[in-house]
Amino acid sequence: MPIHACENSWILETQHTAYVFGVHTTGLLAHRYWGAKLPYPGDYPGDLIEDRLVTSSYVLKEIPFNGLGNLVPQEYPTGAGTEYVEPCLKVSFADGVRDLRLKFERAEVADPELRIHLRDATYPLSVILHYRVWEAFDLIERWAVIENAGDAPVALERVLSAQWHLPIGGHYHLNHLNGRWANEFQLRREPLVQGVKVLESRRITTSHHHNPWFGIDRGSADEERGDVWFGVLAWSGNWKMAAEVTDFSSTRVSIGLNDWDFRWSLEPEQSFTTPSSIAGYTEQGFGAASRHLHDFIRETVVPHGDALHKVLFNSWETTLFDVAESSQAQFAEIAAAMGIELFVMDDGWFHGRKDDYAGLGDWWPDAAKFPNGLGPLIERVNQLGMDFGLWIEPEMVNPDSELYRQHPDWVIHFPTRSRTEGRHQLILNLAKPDVQDYLIEKIDILLSESNITFIKWDMNRNVSEPGWPDAPGEPRELWVRYVQGVYRVWETLRQRHPHVTWQSCSGGGGRADLGILRFADQVWVSDNTIPTSRLAIQGGFSQVFPASTMEAWVTDMGEEFLPLEFRFHSSMCGVLGVGANLRQWGEKEIAEAKTWIALYKEIRPIIQQGDLYRLGSPFTDEFIGVQYVSKDQTSGVLFAFLLHRLDPAAPLILYPRGLVPDRLYTIEGYSGARSGAAWMKTGVVVQLPNFGSTVRRIWSEK
């Protein structure tokens, strides 16, 4: 039983961790402990604030300036009374009262879920805090439901998913992912000091700029060792994460929907459910933190978690919008001969799409490019033994399109403001059910009429003029209702076409999160396909997401300084794809590509389904090592990349991980089997020239 309840306190235990909170003598719901699982229930601390009050008369004197709510680390603070820490919930009642005092009502245990019912002392507003224990993954999932049982609406001004507390008094470092278009997922690290560090998106999608993930350590954790508290938000729209160190050295992370420009009118008898935040703790560094998330995503989040993803070809970087039946068929022939399994046609195939000025919204084949529809091309691709996939960008419309001419009011806009275009396109208001229905209908027709098994769903701009002129209620609900609309369209199509694999793309990695991964199995991680940049992008991405979700193409980018081998190796670290101009590749390149694709097919179960170990970091080391080990630890694969050699005399040694110490393993390129312990302790010496790379298989002796 992972949930232990005792006198209004709760211990949530996973395999190796525990999370403890209870009702404080003041009636506040107080956090007590989050860390390693301890031997006995009595080992966990009681109310932290009591210890402080007894031991520090100084603190007592502070009380007029710092109410108890400021001192007690609360599970879901509301900013009531003299409480100034980051709140999770901020409301305004119909009578103008903006003070919310939640009191504990009752708890419901429905293992592995715990529900804590809180209610305002006077107003009929309830908050149900949900805690779901994911025992095997060492993770806790939290979300909140706000219920209005009154007869007047209540305005929600902030409604977060959770506040996660770290042990009081520690000095912590925040690790997070920052970037921009074509440079996503750059790992950043900084000390947390008194005050609030905010990371967020105001762009209506998750964004290229920050990802809703945190990893917090005591400043000394590495890939292998050290306490790490980590978490994510499963949401694909505006989000916010506030890492706060109070003036009493209490560190916490509040995470949830962004309250910037947010307002939600909670009508009588209605409830509001926040997205989930999923978090965990490990003593084994950032590597273990990532592996917990990877397993969780593969086993519980993505639709086809145990599927092995196919090697795809996509001509976007070569042809841009210039796609047509015959030229695509030519690519298909070369791709099939190389061993490609999935042929994806990118942008340019639909009505009026000659460039990026026109067409978005009109999701039927362009009659000039495909006079007989997509059927003949798909048949050809299928005859060649490949599956067929297609690119769409459903949320967008070009002013030059049939759809926009018919429904100019379907876009997000303010009537008195000009409509800012991004890439000559506007965003359809997916908060509107009729827009959702239009998209469901059009995409459903495509999927029903043709043998399409893969869809790349793109989203190529950020929001502007966030207006919803004919909103039935509060127009600022747009931010949330838009994302719910995207989810509804995606979910309906997924239900109708369960065999289709979806990829989430937003000009690269602008929409990668555990919300969208409930529908999409993969992410197009970046439009930057230069392998040297890509290794850093992939390294950051791997903090959160497993290799099975990481689509990576070999293209012609970087060919002037990187051998084909390097370009293949870097893409083989995820789901391999090819996006190069095959018509210009010579026989030698095609033959080499064939070999790498064949090797990838052999090792992909280890890469896509195994455990990842980062052996050298693209952010700090002169060489990068990435290793995957099968779940049964019988086989593995090791990649190494040298980016720039500062000291040619220094040996490059990689220390493999994840092997069984007393089992004998052979590593390709080295004669003789040695124990896992020997490989892990004495390492593997790698000889590489500048911009060189290698892949080595690892197998255990039968």
Catalytic amino acids? 458, 527
Q: Which residues, including other chains, have CB under 8 Å from residue 270's CB and lie 6 or more apart?
A: 147, 148
Footprint on residues 309-328 left by ligand GLA (CB under 6 A): 316
Torsion, Cα of 510, 513, 518, 521 (10° steps): 60
Is residue 230 involved in binding ligand GLA (CB under 6 A)? no
Closer residue to ligand GLA in complex, CB, 141/362: 362
Among 287, 508, 531, 625, indicate the residue that binds ligand GLA (CB under 6 A).
Answer: 508
What is 530-565 written as a DSSP string? -HHHHHHHHHHHTTTS-GGGEEEEE-STTTTTS-HH
What is 163-219 written as a DSSP string? EEEPPTT---EEEEEE--TTS--EEEEEE--SEEEEEE--SSS--SSB-SEEEEESS
Stretch that binds ligand GLA, among 60-68, 394-402, 503-511, 654-662 (CB under 6 A): 503-511
Stretch that binds ligand GLA, among 14-22, 232-240, 505-513, 642-650 (CB under 6 A): 505-513
- Residue pair 278/221 in contact (Cβ under 8 Å)? The answer is no
Kindly state the smallest distance separating residue 318's Cβ from ligand GLA, in Å: 12
Among 328, 460, 464, 549, indicate the residue that binds ligand GLA (CB under 6 A).
Answer: 460
Closer residue to ligand GLA in complex, CB, 391/479: 391
- Residue pair 612/627 in contact (Cβ under 8 Å)? The answer is yes
CA distance between the termini of the chain? 38
Cα–Cα distances in angstroms (integers) from residue 122 to residues 79, 90, 119, in the given order: 16, 16, 8
Residue 639: half-sphere exposure toward Cβ, Cα within 13 Å: 26
Closest CA to 210 of 182, 230, 234, 240: 240
Among 76, 262, 286, 524, indicate the residue that binds ligand GLA (CB under 6 A).
Answer: 524
Closer residue to ligand GLA in complex, CB, 75/458: 458
Closer residue to ligand GLA in complex, CB, 391/482: 391
Closest CA to 535 of 612, 607, 617, 597: 617
Kindly state the smallest distance separating residue 450's Cβ from ligand GLA, in Å: 19
Stretch that binds ligand GLA, among 42-50, 135-143, 323-331, 504-512 (CB under 6 A): 504-512
Kindly state the smallest distance separating residue 468's Cβ from ligand GLA, in Å: 26
Closer residue to ligand GLA in complex, CB, 312/686: 312
> 464: which DSSP letter?
-
Closer residue to ligand GLA in complex, CB, 113/356: 356
Kindly state the smallest distance separating residue 601's Cβ from ligand GLA, in Å: 24
Size of the chain, expressed as the number of residues it contains: 702
Footprint on residues 383-402 left by ligand GLA (CB under 6 A): 391
Checking DSSP bridges between strand 251-257 and strand 102-110, what pairing results, if any? unpaired
Is residue 347 involved in binding ligand GLA (CB under 6 A)? yes
Closer residue to ligand GLA in complex, CB, 463/642: 463
Kindly state the smallest distance separating residue 460's Cβ from ligand GLA, in Å: 5
Is residue 76 involved in binding ligand GLA (CB under 6 A)? no
Kindly state the smallest distance separating residue 348's Cβ from ligand GLA, in Å: 8
Q: Which residues, including other chains, have CB under 8 Å from residue 453's CB and lie 6 or more apart?
A: 342, 387, 388, 389, 499, 500, 501
3-state SS of 93-150?
CCCCCCCCCEEEEEEEEECCEEEEEEEECCCCEEEEEEEEEEHHHCEEEEEEEEEECC
Is residue 346 involved in binding ligand GLA (CB under 6 A)? yes
Alpha helices in 320-368 (DSSP H): 325-338
Kindly state the smallest distance separating residue 391's Cβ from ligand GLA, in Å: 5
Nearest residue (beta carbon) to ligand GLA:
347
Among 116, 228, 505, 537, indicate the residue that binds ligand GLA (CB under 6 A).
Answer: 505
Is residue 359 involved in binding ligand GLA (CB under 6 A)? no
Residues forming contacts to ligand GLA in the complex (CB under 6 A) are 316, 346-347, 391, 458, 460, 505, 507-508, 524, 527
